[in-house]
Amino acid sequence: MNSGVVTSKKPSSVKQKIVVVGNGMVGHHFVEQLCQSPKRQDYEITVLSAESRLAYDRVHLSGYFAGKSAADLALTTPGHYRELGVAFELDAKVVALDKDEKTVTTSGGKSFSYDKLILATGSYPFVPPIEGNDREHCLVYRTLEDLAAIENAARQSKVGVVVGGGLLGLEAANALKQLGLETHVVEFAPQLMGVQLDKPGGQLLRAMIEDLGVNVHTEKATKIITDGEQCHHRMEFADGSHLETDLILFSAGIRPYDNLAREFDLALGERGGIVVDNHCQTSDKAIYAIGECALWNNFIFGLVAPGYKMAKVAAGHICGESGQFTGADMSTKLKLMGVDVGSIGDAHGKTPGARCYTYENQVAQTYKKIVISPDGKHLIGAVLVGDTSDYDTLLQYALNGIELPEMPESLILPSLQREKPGLGADSLPDSATICSCHNVTKGDIITAIDDGNTELKQLTACTKASTGCGGCSALLKNVFEAELDKRGVEVKKDLCQHFAYSRTELFHIIKAEQIKTFEQLISKHGQGLGCEVCKPTVASILASAWNDYILEDPHIPLQDTNDVFLGNMQKDGTYSVVPRIPGGEITPDKLIVIGQVAKEYNLYTKITGGQRIDLFGARVDQLPDIWKRLIDAGMETGHAYGKSLRTVKSCVGNTWCRYGVQDSMSMAIFLEERYKGLRSPHKLKFAVSGCTRECAEAQSKDIGVIATEHGWNLYVSGNGGMKPRHADLFATDLDDKTLVQYIDRYLMFYVRMADRLQRTSVWLENLEGGLEYVKSVVIDDHLGINDELEAQMQAIVASYQCEWKTTIENPEKVKRFRQFVNSGQSDSNVQFVTERAQIRPARPEEKHPGERIPAVDITENRPV
Amino acid sequence: MANNKSWHTVCHKNDLLTGAGVCALVNRDEQVAIFLIDNRRVYSIANWDPIGQANVLSRGITGDEQGEIFVASPLYKQRFSLTSGHCLDDDAVTVPHYPTRIKNEQVQILA
């Protein structure tokens, strides 16, 4: 038995014991809700699961057959539960419940006492009482174990039948089809998905599914399953027909797992289900039931979203909150075997007085129906088959009671000339539910954005919106973008209070008016003195446009300290030193010099992620001398401090490697030499791999180049760091010349267009038209600017200078590296201690207050 | 306290660059960051960044927020008023500021 019991150090009596029976999606959601509660520490949580693994995503179970592993579907891990301090037992089916003693006992004989018990036992598939339903390869579709059994049985089968033409049955049929079986669906009712769809919708769905090669048999009641002639089984139907098959999957609905309640005397519904009130409490107030085992208002909700809602209500109630469960929307949108299906509210129009509009297009195979309230003002239901693009809008109308437009039919009619009366993200009220799985409203999303979650991924991580069934992801993106737009318009238009322009606009102004300094720009196009936002931005644009020496007097006050002192400032105010090592290739002689310099100046030495060497702990006054040593030895600045090209990482390629197909080393060095010194909105990293094994990890770089048998594949806008992104394949099998041409254009286009501090990945993702648009610009010269882009890049390449060389050759510039304008002393606060035979900054408690490190006269220290 | 203070001549005006800072050492170990704004106004605050915990303020970028002149720390970018030493991004933080003048092209600090 796998168990992960966390023992509490505090006496357990002070904490309330919460025992959760069942670790399906809803049980797990309850645990998460409770763990997020501010009263978390008041509770000791124990999870008892009858399954052999922790919660996984049952909604996307069919993904298993599309190659998803159990780990991919997992919603949590043992490690995560341990981190949360949640104790759990697997393979621990609860078999006994003592309401007086408040204990539960597992099949393994272990007993657990509780203050509050949560039953989240879920449901089991209903298998119709047909003779022969227990024959070999007669299976159900519910757990990962079921899937493994289906996969196994399918290997020995040619034909498969799903009994049940509901939502889950069609999912299961899709799984059989993916496994390569001749697939049949047998349904008792006259139509498919009778709960969600009306008759015409069901008919169209049937036609479309049959087009895909699935045989549908409706109005068939199976009487008996016996031996077949061609196949393992033969299904005899009540109407006298029969069907032969090797494998049968029962998907005829669910039944609540309510045995515990049944055996130990909790109130049950007539047809099963543990009766709960609006707090999800059962007839015993210490016991809650949530999810598919719970019966609320004589109804069992077989969807995950209402289950999540119950979990939240129950967790909240335990913590003393007042939220109640008052039912849930059962609308659904999904793709069944590639067919889009949507159903909202009163799909059948059963509400007295309800009327509907329908639109059917047999050519395009779409069917749409909206059901409106008797007064004609509100949308109360909808059916969509073949095209669900209107689902989000219709759902918002239905859920939020938004008044219908003058001609409601325009909501489902195809837009001919006239614009559809769209329901933009803006017109939704803040109370509009965006994600019904996690009950996230538009207001929640706005709050999260205001809290600084300005990346879509951050937003989903923090609100959980679209992490349930995923059906709302498009709507979420719309709301997100509309909200950002609202903020973005202000932020983007005005770089800061000193300039009412975006970075891109400033770039154009600077180029068009040949502006060479910040002073010229702000006096003509801005106001005030500038600030830490606009100054470095303008400095970067000036460098990208004119490529002057960045420490010309007018430029110095604009730069971040890293650019002013040509090093990366560290936490203690010292700087790091990184000479350029193109492609990571370095001679032993240069290595020795780096080693000597590091040793003489007592610098902490580390290999960087970009195949170079970083020397830390140089005081500002030491920098010119350190760099003089490196430059004398034939090295140059690595621009590790600049928003500019950093490194071009490389493997050795076909010069050494058995597998290499091109000379990646030479290409990497060529690219690094070409683009070094290019100032850009953000730092740039490249890599070149000599074969598809991709040892240089080029697909995580702004520019990635991977050798092929015929040339180079170019990848763009990859990113490691805070928000990793795989690069997009831009063009394939390029020759050297075209490769460089494309990179020239791509980079220069980015440099012109991107916002400040925007990496190529974020730039591309936010660019209207995205990758295809940039391709059209770079490859097809859609904007007719390629000559200009190339010429600009050529000008940058031609005007390169090693800014450290220029600096040390100018005594006036070197003067700026003094620690004190009036003293040769050093900063007494910069103190080091030794760790692993190298220096590191002393922590505050390790420092000797007031102790002054003697000023180091560098000329004296220099070895002869 | 004021009695103990005196004007220190720390450098020539030409040692300053408009919009940028330098650091001067006074009273044995007091580090002062001096900034020239507009080529005529000169301001000083302590060089110690109490948030970043390092002597770096002289190396920050200067600017103005609605007319309030500041330097942004090069470490974590908090802005400090050059006229009061008050941190514009954290009300609880203030650094010492020093009266500063240019006399006969020499920069002087009262410290």
ipTM of this complex: 0.95
Flag whether A651 is marked binding. yes
Flag whether residue B81 sits within 8 Å of chain A, measured between CB atoms.
Answer: no
Flag whether A469 is marked binding. no
DSSP, collapsed to helix, strand or coil, labels residue A849 as: coil
d(CA A558, CA B23): 18
- How is residue A848 written in tokens? 């000797």
Residue ranges, chain A, pLDDT below 50: 1-12, 417-422, 489-492, 852-864
d(CA A318, CA A340): 40
Inspect the interface and report whether the beta carbons of A557 and B19 lie closer than 8 Å. Answer: yes
Inspect the interface and report whether the beta carbons of B37 and A822 lie closer than 8 Å. Answer: no
Measured CA distances, A292 to A22, A274, A289, A301, A386 (Å): 11, 9, 9, 6, 29
Which residue from A668, A596, A667 is spatially nearest to A633, judged by alpha carbons?
A596
Scan residues 17-46 of B and list those with Cβ closer than 8 Å to A. Answer: 17-20, 22-26, 29, 31, 34, 37-38
| Residue A155, pLDDT score | 92
Flag whether residue A841 sits within 8 Å of chain B, measured between CB atoms.
Answer: no
| Residue A488, pLDDT score | 58
Rg (CA), chain A: 34
Handedness of CA A434, A437, A443, A448 (dihedral sign): negative
DSSP, collapsed to helix, strand or coil, labels residue B42 as: strand
Query: Looking at CA atoms only, how far is residue A818 from chain B in angstroms?
Result: 9
Q: Exposed (0-12), middle (13-18) or buried (19+): which is A371, by Cβ within 10 Å?
A: buried
Flag whether residue A844 sits within 8 Å of chain B, measured between CB atoms.
Answer: yes
Q: Exposed (0-12), middle (13-18) or buried (19+): which is A452, by Cβ within 10 Å?
A: exposed
Flag whether A138 is marked binding. no
Flag whether A657 is marked binding. yes
Residues of chain B with Cβ-Cβ distance to A565 below 8 Å are 59
Helix, strand, coil percent values for chain B (each to nearest 5)? 10, 50, 40
| Residue A470, pLDDT score | 64
Picking from B11, B12, B15, B25 by the largest number of A CB atoms within 10 A of its own CB, the best residue to mutate is: B25
Q: Report the b/e string of A52-91 with b at 16+ CB within 10 A.
A: ebbbbbbbebbebbeeeeeeebbbbeeeebeebebbbbbb
Query: Looking at CA atoms only, how far is residue A852 from chain B in angstroms?
Result: 9
Position of tokens 């989000």? A392
**β-bridge pairing A254-256 and A339-345:** unpaired
Three-state secondary structure along A669-733?
Answer: HHHHHHHCCCECCCCEEEEEECCCCCCCCHHHCCEEEEEECCEEEEEECCECCCCCECCEEEEEE
Flag whether residue B52 sits within 8 Å of chain A, measured between CB atoms.
Answer: yes
Scan residues 515-534 of A and list those with Cβ closer than 8 Å to B. Answer: 528-532, 534
Question: Are A131 and A225 within 8 A, CB to CB?
Answer: yes
Region of A812 (left: φ > 0; alpha: ψ -120 to 50; beta: rest) is alpha
- Residue A296's contacts (CB-CB under 8 Å, 6 or more residues apart) are A276, A277, A278, A280, A310, A325, A327
- Smallest Cβ distance to A820: which of B25, B59, B63? B25
For residue range A690-708, what is the model confidence (pLDDT) as tens digits? 998 999 999 999 999 999 9
- How is residue A815 written in tokens? 């003067």
- Residue A727's contacts (CB-CB under 8 Å, 6 or more residues apart) are A698, A699, A700, A701, A704, A715, A716, A717, A718
Inspect the interface and report whether the beta carbons of A559 and B37 lie closer than 8 Å. Answer: no
- How is residue A643 written in tokens? 């928003």
Give the E-state strand segments of A22-106 in sequence order: 43-48, 87-89, 94-98, 103-106
List helix spans (H) across A401-551: 442-450, 456-463, 473-493, 503-512, 518-525, 534-546
Per-residue DSSP letters for A289-336?
E-GGGEEETTB---SHHHHHHHHHHHHHHHTT-----------EEEEE
d(CA A290, CA A309): 9
User: What's the average model confidence in pLDDT over B64-89?
Assistant: 94
Scan residues 806-835 of A and list those with Cβ closer than 8 Å to B. Answer: 815-816, 818-823, 825, 827-830
For A493, other C-beta atoms within 10 Å of its C-beta total 12
- Smallest Cβ distance to B25: which of A531, A532, A823? A823
DSSP, collapsed to helix, strand or coil, labels residue A443 as: helix
Measured CA distances, A13 to A43, A44, A758, B59 (Å): 10, 10, 53, 57
Position of tokens 């208002």? A297
β-bridge partners, A97 = A104
Position of tokens 């809008």? A393
Question: Which residue of chain A comes nearest to B52, CA vs CA?
Answer: A571
Residues of chain B with Cβ-Cβ distance to A563 below 8 Å are none
Position of tokens 């959980």? A464
| Residue A663, pLDDT score | 96
Query: Looking at CA atoms only, how far is residue A557 from chain B in angstroms?
Result: 5
Which residue from A447, A118, A479 is spatially nearest to A290, judged by alpha carbons?
A118
- Smallest Cβ distance to A821: which of B11, B56, B72? B11
Flag whether residue A852 sits within 8 Å of chain B, measured between CB atoms.
Answer: yes
- Smallest Cβ distance to B65: which of A531, A571, A830? A531
Query: Looking at CA atoms only, how far is residue B73 from chain A in angstroms?
Result: 9
β-bridge partners, A433 = A441
Q: How many CB pairs under 8 A join A and B?
A: 104
**β-bridge pairing A87-89 and A43-48:** parallel
Which residue from A226, A251, A255 is spatially nearest to A136, judged by alpha carbons?
A226
Inspect the interface and report whether the beta carbons of A820 and B37 lie closer than 8 Å. Answer: no
Give the HSE-up count for residue A317: Cα atoms under 13 Å, Cβ half-sphere: 25
